Structure 1
Amino acid sequence: MSGLPEGTFTALRTQLQDAATAFADGPGALEGILRGIVDDVERAVAEPLEIFPVCHHSPASALAMARRLREKQPKVIYLELCEDMAPLLTELRNCRLPVAVQAFASEIDGFPADWAPLSVVAPVTEASAEYQAIAYALDTPGVELVLVDRSSDHVFQWETPTPEEAGPDAPPADEETALHGDAVGVEIGDLRPRFAELEEHLLRHGRVRHWSEWWHQYVELPLGDSDHDTYRQVMLLIGSLFRRLAPGDPRRVRIDEDRERYMWTRMREHLAATGTDPADCLYVCGAFHAASRVEEFGVHGSDTFTITPPTATKWRHGLIPSSHAAIEAQFGLAAGSVSIAATEWAKNLRRTGVRPYRLEGQAGTKKSTKPRKALPTPASVPQARPADRLTGFLQRPPALDPLDEAELLGWSVDIVRAARRNGYLASTADAIAVYETSILLAGMRDRVRPTPYDFQDAAVTCIEKDTVPGRRDVRRLVEIMMGGDRVGQVGYDALPPLARDVHDRLAPLALRLQQRGVQRALLDIASRPELERCSDVLWMLRRLLPQGAARPIMGDRRLGERPIQESWDLALGTHQRALIELGYEGVTIEQVLEQRLRRTAYAPQATAAQVLEAVEDAIRYLRSRRLADELGTRALEVLASERTVDGAPEVLRRIRGLLAYYRTSEPLLPSWIESFVKTGYAHYCTLLPTAFTDEDATVRQVAAMLGFLFSMEGLALSLGCDRTQLELALAQSHPREPSRTALLWAAQTHLGTLSRAALRTRCDDLLANPLVVPAYPRYLSGFVHALEPVPGLADFVVEAVSNAFARLPDPVLLPWLPTLITTLRAGGSELAPLLIREAGRVFPARLPELDAWIPPWHLTQEPPAVHPERSPGAAAGVALLATHPATCDALADLLGCDGTWETTETAAPGAALLARHPRTATELEALLAVT
């Protein structure tokens, strides 16, 4: 095929010119487009290196490729795929299709940091021409497969890495359609008009709903039985038409042309290096790129394109599971179109008898047991010059396939059976209605034989009606019946080292971890200590993988605790892609977790609470004192640089947990945690006056600051901090908001600058002031939050709430009662147990006791009168204290009684004291008697 006879496409060119003149009322732009299409086809067909145009996941392209490979038996196959993905293709035999070849980079160099992570995927299905070419090249001795498209690095050098825009036919994203994540798809053989008006015109005149149905009806079916030359010329014609009618987006045009220059440059380099005859080669690319007009096109094109060097980004490569739904979502295809294509592929193989290529040992495929016929050598195949096949193809009316009544009847019965299993009230009458409606819709669309899309519309119309009783609608049931959303799987041997290590370490669980779905794992660690290592792996997977991959049902991993029994729901097979991508970050999950913890701690926007969480994870999952100390030092640096109190509640919670852990597990506290407490004490004292008046700071955050200062005060003072700093910070705090005012009063009560009696008086004054009563719930909110730093105020908070309910009349109480409840629920849910416990202690336990119950805060204690005569208990107490004068002096000093010992004629100060408090003397005597 080194050339074409002169005037091969003259008849077609004349026909299109006449059509342009008739439709455009004279030659002009339309004539130039139509004549240019013929020129593109003629140029591509005349190229010495045979170009094989394909469409992405097209059964017609796969069938034509299988036929051509057996006929031509090329020695070199050039494939439009990222050249850096070549080493992975041999691993396809260890997978069950569909899978995707992936290039992944988590640490980037040469691109903006917010682009990370970078990911490029190229999905592969059995019903694709690319897979046929790969299987032929890998399993045929002496055949070389060369990937010639731009590398993954160049994909991001040339394009902005935004997620692919879903087409109008794209299904909604869900768990299955997200198998590729946010990866940029390499559209091998993508063939879709980029001119919106053209696509709308084709859909309207083709009487179809979406592009996938148009392609199936007007391209897939006609080309299913066509010869090689007709297939090539039709695909080139479509590619040239879509290319010439594409909008003139300079950026998109530049990328398309640069890809073509890149591929032809690589092919000429390979031909020059190996000396291969172009007649023994086959170039597999999308029809859009086959009809190229760049100067570098062809074996004899110019060598004017310079390939830029890659960046310093380190790319990792692997295989990830894919699915029909993921492919449809990535490339904007209609839901179910890839499944229908797979069904059409199987039907074409049965109908034509073509034997496809499959990789030796390919999982999920069936090998043919028929003996292979001897194939003619390439030399014995007559190399006829291609003739003009387009003229006849375009003039020939579309072939009307006869109605296959048995097939349509089987579809109708199967969909009714599936609908009844999913809760629909379907019957035999519905099967008949679906059958007749399918024929009716096909006739309305100028088709004799209903397509799967006609049948799907008929089933929805006749069965679904207006309700969906189950979780699947009829459209989804038809997709499942036509083949379903087949999900691929990467075999064990094709997994990265990290994924294989995970499977090996979880082997004692005796589960089929590569199987999709949820499996229950029971770990009795007390009787089988070796399962503790499996528990460690599972907890790390829960930390690293998406939610649902490893979910604990029973058991917890807390600081300082050892597991006894655990129960897990595992779905590692469903989340295989996420597990594989972990393998791109390290060799073991411990290494990946350590890298992620460091990345979190040293991030520019990291907070002290986030770094403390990383410290906890380092202890809980890795049990690494070295890493915990390193991250703890980093937490100290971050805390010292913070100027807000947004993370104060989380900092308080985590530092309390770490202190409790280190105090119970180690003899000495780490140096970083002592420095953290010392720095935090000074830091929060400095921010406290501003936080009390800052509108952006919440009451919960201010309470957490006070909680840090009060709970860490003993340790901070022992490390050299000065309590005067805290007292000055509270003295400089002047809040105006009621809840913060109540919080300040609680803090002053804790420090002793405000007595309980004074605090009770202030609350009584608030309830007595009608102007302040509407704001009283906000004061209560402040008191509730004060339980964080001052838990001893729980009895006073119960008293304040009870007084409000007792003293306020219903017209005043009921309007702000909902506000009180919502305030307590929103701002003090974790403190509610303290109030409930205190209320249970104060209030009577039985309803009959409530009538005679008197609140403790209403009881007044009057000082008893001092009688000169002493009771027997007082006399015994006096004798006891006289026997131990030192104890009496110490007790007198403790109670604030001044005086000296008197002679026997006068009473001693201790005796006078006990005379005034005989009950205390009696209790003291009883205590000393016991001890």
Structure 2
Amino acid sequence: MTADRFAGLRQQLDDAAANFAGSHQALADVLTGMVDDVERAMREPLEVFPVCHHSPASAVAMARRLRQKAPRVIYLELCEDLRPLLKELRNCQLPVALQAFAGSPKGFGEGTGPMSVVAPLTEASAEYQAIVYALDNPDVELVFVDRSTDHVFQWGSREEPKPEPEPETTETAPDSEEAALHGDSVGVEIGDMRPRFAELEEFLLHHGKVRHWSEFWDQFVEQPLVGADYDTYRQVMTLIGSLFRRLTPPDSRSLVVDEDRERYMWTRIREHLASSGADPATCMYVCGAFHASSRVDEFGLDAPETDFVISDRSETVWQYGLIPSSHSSIEAQFGLAPGSVSIAAETWSKALKRNRVKPFTLGAKSSVVSAPRLDAEAEADDQLSAFLSAPSEATGLDEDELLRWCVDIVRLARKNGYLASTADAIAVFETSILLAGMRNRSRPTPYDFADAAVTCIEKESVPGRRDVRRLCEILLGGDRIGKVGYDSLPPLAQDVFDRLKPLGIEASKRNTQRILIDLTTEPHLRSASRLLWILRGLLGSVVQPITGVCTLEEQSTQESWDVSLGRYQRGLIELGYQGVTVEQVLEQRLRRKVRTDDATAARALQAVEDAIVYLESPQLVTDLGDRAVELLAAERNVDDAPEVLRRVRRLLSYYRTRGTDLPQWLESFVRVGYAHYCTLLPSAFTAEDVGIRQVGAMVGFLVSMEGLAVSLGCDRTQLELAVKQSHPEIPGKVALRWAVQYQLGALSLAELRKRCADLLDNPLAVGSFPQYLSGFVQTLDSIPRLTSFVVELLSTAFGRLPDSVLVPWLPNLITTLKKQAPDMVPLLVREAGRTFPAGLDAIDTWTPPWLAAPAPAVMSGVEGVAGGVVAELLDEHRTAVDAHAALIGATGDWAVLARPPAGAAEVAGLLADHDAAAHAHAALVV
């Protein structure tokens, strides 16, 4: 094509710039430069095919051109390392997405999470038509020439963030689950045809009388071009790409990345032509219209050599596969208006019928082109002038189509709870025509129809889950969801479906399946049940238990599940990139979980539990347990002490109920934990940033694990010294220290009662009494004999405090217990139920146990601390002593026991000589 062919158009644009601009040179340079870009692309020996992503006009032009030209080589703007995936498309149902996934990236900085790149494909896209043509013609070579997925992230740091998707008028978005099929993957698209100059987009939307860019593109580009001849389509698309490119800010970082991509693609094209010896006349280069108007030095086969060098890939190992996609996920990822991809699919179907175009379909005999045309083609004339000056085609109103839409939307609305009627259908019909007229359109578009339906049907409220605009999207094509066939799934996914087949779960089933399992009558299903529990932990709500439990303490015999693996395949497919079986993936995750920089002992214990419950690997449990010991010894804070206590108790109970010896790592954990918490206890008591729950958990660990720790070689004196060195000032921590002293025998119950009574009598301390009470409550699970004392303490406070003190004090008490000791309150309630009378009749004659006449101390003649401890123990448990005496046939009165029995002096001397042994024995039996 010579420059003279566009001379007339240049002159027209230059005159227009002079008429409409005060200083016309800048505008003239832009307008005539656009023509230069078109001329340059048309003159290129390698045919450049400009496209827009998911554009029916591009797809129709591609189908026509492939049958006319029958190229031998197609260069396609897609990541070059995605090319091997195409053979798997035969087992899939569109839309699907080509995906590259890296679970452990290398060379992208520390803390970089999993990376994922997706390239979605729909039938109404030019790239898919080219792919099918190449796959069904063995002698055709398809070459992906865009940067690799590794380079996408290497160059991503140079690209400025994409603008937010355009504002929509829809009040509710499409179903979020379908819209999130791509997750947080980076999307790769061919032909991002959207202005990068915000003022230009705003201007076009305003004067086009449309609400968003998708509607503008469909109205003013797709519809006029979908039936145009090939030369017109090619020149117009290149012109639009040039317009957007020339109006992109020159300092834009995204423009730098785009130019690097263009250099990359032309470098790959020249390398392939040189190595294959292909004739450029039999080749085609498919790229976005933005890149077709490229002005980089590397553009074209005749470009001079430059110093552009493609950088090496990183050491990241990439996994590749296909994942299901959907119309709504494509719209959400690329900032398109909801429903636009469905409308494009409808436009594609209509264009095929109207223009009598036969699309390329995988496996169809019509896809094969037997004799490619190799003769030179004539240069195309200037088609831009006629297209730009021609008035819009007056297609007229298609009443049958509009009537069908109106009737169907009313029927669909009634199914979704709207009180719609025939009158609403008539109103939608007339309003659609009215809106089209107001917007200078010859016929209502799907967007006009949707606006009219919202106005006439939705009115004020949405009775169901879907609003009217969403119903219009469903009516006009629906949110089609793709599916990856069984044969194209990774080995892990195939293994999952094979193992779940006894439950009736198959990859071909798209619906959510309710699965019932009775392990009592069908014990052979236990392995399938365990697999579901593993998938539940790895995939979340895709596998949802309705009833049933699987923990260290309990494993149910009957289970009910909702399984949606066939509907949401993405998560399962990505697991297949990480291992061969789900057990292998789970083991890898557990090992990584305890080796991260933020790993804690509590997290390691959780990993141990998961390994015991889901994996039959004693070595893995040992490795994770040893790591938990290391993490506990290295921790310098006690933030996770409550969780550590809860999990270590559960593990101890698990091994003891099984009747086996404790594993070595668990013994080491108890021994290290005892010494560790003894060391940190004094500072935790005084530190302001350590909460009472954390200190209570430390105390609980030390007290409840004391017997086991001492048997493993720990020294009880270490705890006694830690308590003596602790000097808390916060009321709750003070009460915790008193409780530990009482447990160690350093504080008697009588002394504890006196200290608490002094608090109630002190007007300055009574306001903080709930904090003291919370401290006592924290120790109830490890010092259960304090439960009755706390009930006594509460009852005493309620009985002694006046209303003026008690009423303001109660809210503080309730909130404190709820915040600091919610798990222990039920224990208090049960103890209170045992202490207080069951009926109202007994209240008048009931005397609280702590107010009953105190009995003389048993063994009153016995001197020494041990005698006092034993006497105190018997006095606290009179009912038990009486019952035991009745069983052995002993009779007597408590008063009689006040007399020193024979030999009391000898017993007292013996206890005095062995005071330490008496203390140790008292601690064990109390």
Give TM-score scaled by structure 1 length. Answer: 0.90
Counterpart residue number, 1:461: 455
Counterpart residue number, 1:213: 215
- Map 1:339-358 onto structure 2 (within 5 A): 339-358=342-361
Query: Is contact 1:640–1:679 with CA below 8 Å preserved after alignment?
Result: yes
| In the alignment, structure 1 residue 246 sits paired with structure 2 residue 240 | no
Give the Å deviation of 1:675. Answer: 1.4
Query: Is contact 1:100–1:320 with CA below 8 Å preserved after alignment?
Result: yes
Counterpart residue number, 2:805: 812
**Of 745, 769, 778, which aligns to 1:776?**
769
Specify the code of the residue in structure 2 equivalent to 1:573. G
Specify the code of the residue in structure 1 equivalent to 2:74. I
Query: Is contact 1:62–1:132 with CA below 8 Å preserved after alignment?
Result: yes
| In the alignment, structure 1 residue 324 sits paired with structure 2 residue 327 | yes
Give the Å deviation of 1:38. Answer: 0.4
Specify the code of the residue in structure 2 equivalent to 1:224. V
Give the Å deviation of 1:553. Answer: 2.2
| In the alignment, structure 1 residue 10 sits paired with structure 2 residue 7 | yes
For 2:803 and 2:609, the matched residues in 1 are separated by 50
**Of 389, 395, 402, which aligns to 1:401?**
395
- Map 1:407-426 onto structure 2 (within 5 A): 407-426=401-420
Give the Å deviation of 1:163. Answer: 7.9
For 2:160 and 2:328, the matched residues in 1 are separated by 20
Going from structure 1 to structure 2, the CA distance change for 1:277 and 1:890 (only over 3 Å counts) comes to farther
- Map 1:14-93 onto structure 2 (within 5 A): 14-93=11-90
Give the Å deviation of 1:656. Answer: 1.1
Counterpart residue number, 1:838: 831
Query: Is contact 1:704–1:789 with CA below 8 Å preserved after alignment?
Result: no
Counterpart residue number, 1:308: 311
Query: Is contact 1:192–1:242 with CA below 8 Å preserved after alignment?
Result: yes
Deviations, residues 518-569 of structure 1 (Å, cap 9, x unaligned): 21111222222221110121111111112x1112222222227555322222
Query: Is contact 1:102–1:122 with CA below 8 Å preserved after alignment?
Result: yes
Give the Å deviation of 1:458. Answer: 0.8
Deviations, residues 749-799 of structure 1 (Å, cap 9, x unaligned): 111111111111111111122222221111111111121332221111111
Query: Is contact 1:166–1:331 with CA below 8 Å preserved after alignment?
Result: no
| In the alignment, structure 1 residue 530 sits paired with structure 2 residue 532 | no
Counterpart residue number, 1:736: 729
Counterpart residue number, 2:604: 611
Specify the code of the residue in structure 2 equivalent to 1:157. Q
Query: Is contact 1:169–1:333 with CA below 8 Å preserved after alignment?
Result: no
Specify the code of the residue in structure 1 equivalent to 2:20. F
Between stretches 124-133 and 763-772, larger displacement belongs to 763-772
**Of 576, 588, 593, which aligns to 1:583?**
576
Counterpart residue number, 1:133: 130
Deviations, residues 625-661 of structure 1 (Å, cap 9, x unaligned): 1011111111111111111000101111111111222
Give the Å deviation of 1:335. Answer: 0.9
For 1:225 and 1:779, the matched residues in 2 are separated by 83
Partner of 2:842: helix, strand, or coil? helix
Specify the code of the residue in structure 2 equivalent to 1:266. R
Counterpart residue number, 1:232: 234
Going from structure 1 to structure 2, the CA distance change for 1:453 and 1:897 (only over 3 Å counts) comes to same
**Of 843, 848, 859, which aligns to 1:850?**
843
Between stretches 831-840 and 438-447, larger displacement belongs to 831-840
Between stretches 219-228 and 553-562, larger displacement belongs to 553-562
Query: Is contact 1:169–1:332 with CA below 8 Å preserved after alignment?
Result: no
Going from structure 1 to structure 2, the CA distance change for 1:823 and 1:720 (only over 3 Å counts) comes to same
For 2:403 and 2:890, the matched residues in 1 are separated by 107
Specify the code of the residue in structure 2 equivalent to 1:11. G
Give the Å deviation of 1:726. Answer: 0.6
Partner of 1:28: helix, strand, or coil? helix
**Of 784, 789, 792, which aligns to 1:796?**
789
Give the Å deviation of 1:348. Answer: 1.2
Specify the code of the residue in structure 2 equivalent to 1:854. T
Query: Is contact 2:241–2:290 with CA below 8 Å preserved after alignment?
Result: yes
Deviations, residues 99-128 of structure 1 (Å, cap 9, x unaligned): 111101011111113222111110101111
Query: Is contact 2:63–2:129 with CA below 8 Å preserved after alignment?
Result: yes
Query: Is contact 2:137–2:369 with CA below 8 Å preserved after alignment?
Result: no
Partner of 2:111: helix, strand, or coil? helix
**Total equivalences in the alignment:** 870
| In the alignment, structure 1 residue 151 sits paired with structure 2 residue 148 | yes
Partner of 2:622: helix, strand, or coil? helix
Counterpart residue number, 2:705: 712
| In the alignment, structure 1 residue 637 sits paired with structure 2 residue 641 | no
**Of 491, 494, 505, which aligns to 1:500?**
494
Between stretches 856-865 and 668-677, larger displacement belongs to 856-865
Query: Is contact 1:681–1:708 with CA below 8 Å preserved after alignment?
Result: yes
Deviations, residues 653-680 of structure 1 (Å, cap 9, x unaligned): 1111112222333632222111111111
Give the Å deviation of 1:377. Answer: 4.2
Query: Is contact 1:164–1:184 with CA below 8 Å preserved after alignment?
Result: no
For 1:898 and 1:708, the matched residues in 2 are separated by 31
Deviations, residues 47-79 of structure 1 (Å, cap 9, x unaligned): 111111000100111111111111111111110
Counterpart residue number, 2:362: 359
Give the Å deviation of 1:894. Answer: 6.6
| In the alignment, structure 1 residue 105 sits paired with structure 2 residue 102 | yes
For 1:844 and 1:376, the matched residues in 2 are separated by 97
Query: Is contact 2:492–2:581 with CA below 8 Å preserved after alignment?
Result: yes
Measured on the aligned residues, the alpha-carbon RMSD in Å equals 2.4
Between stretches 84-93 and 380-389, larger displacement belongs to 380-389
Specify the code of the residue in structure 1 equivalent to 2:120. P
For 1:238 and 1:893, the matched residues in 2 are separated by 110
For 1:562 and 1:554, the matched residues in 2 are separated by 11
For 1:477 and 1:432, the matched residues in 2 are separated by 18
For 1:838 and 1:328, the matched residues in 2 are separated by 60
Query: Is contact 2:68–2:373 with CA below 8 Å preserved after alignment?
Result: no
Specify the code of the residue in structure 2 equivalent to 1:827. Q
Give the Å deviation of 1:691. Answer: 0.7
Specify the code of the residue in structure 2 equivalent to 1:492. Y
For 1:588 and 1:273, the matched residues in 2 are separated by 41
For 2:259 and 2:375, the matched residues in 1 are separated by 35
Specify the code of the residue in structure 2 equivalent to 1:348. A
Gap regions ≥5 residues in structure 2? 860-885, 893-900, 913-926
Partner of 2:5: helix, strand, or coil? coil
**Of 296, 299, 306, which aligns to 2:298?**
296
Give the Å deviation of 1:574. Answer: 3.1
Partner of 2:116: helix, strand, or coil? strand
For 1:807 and 1:278, the matched residues in 2 are separated by 101
For 1:890 and 1:343, the matched residues in 2 are separated by 105
Query: Is contact 1:164–1:330 with CA below 8 Å preserved after alignment?
Result: no
For 1:525 and 1:164, the matched residues in 2 are separated by 53
Give the Å deviation of 1:517. Answer: 3.7
Between stretches 755-764 and 146-155, larger displacement belongs to 755-764
Specify the code of the residue in structure 2 equivalent to 1:199. E
Going from structure 1 to structure 2, the CA distance change for 1:376 and 1:754 (only over 3 Å counts) comes to closer
Going from structure 1 to structure 2, the CA distance change for 1:152 and 1:889 (only over 3 Å counts) comes to farther
Gap regions ≥5 residues in structure 1? 361-366, 867-872, 880-887, 900-931
**Of 232, 255, 258, which aligns to 2:257?**
255
For 2:257 and 2:891, the matched residues in 1 are separated by 104
Counterpart residue number, 2:201: 199
Query: Is contact 2:320–2:577 with CA below 8 Å preserved after alignment?
Result: yes
**Of 316, 335, 338, which aligns to 1:335?**
338
Specify the code of the residue in structure 1 equivalent to 2:516. L
Partner of 1:572: helix, strand, or coil? coil
Query: Is contact 2:297–2:304 with CA below 8 Å preserved after alignment?
Result: yes
Counterpart residue number, 1:449: 443
For 1:891 and 1:526, the matched residues in 2 are separated by 62
For 1:402 and 1:893, the matched residues in 2 are separated by 119
For 1:776 and 1:894, the matched residues in 2 are separated by 41
Query: Is contact 2:72–2:372 with CA below 8 Å preserved after alignment?
Result: no
Partner of 1:829: helix, strand, or coil? coil
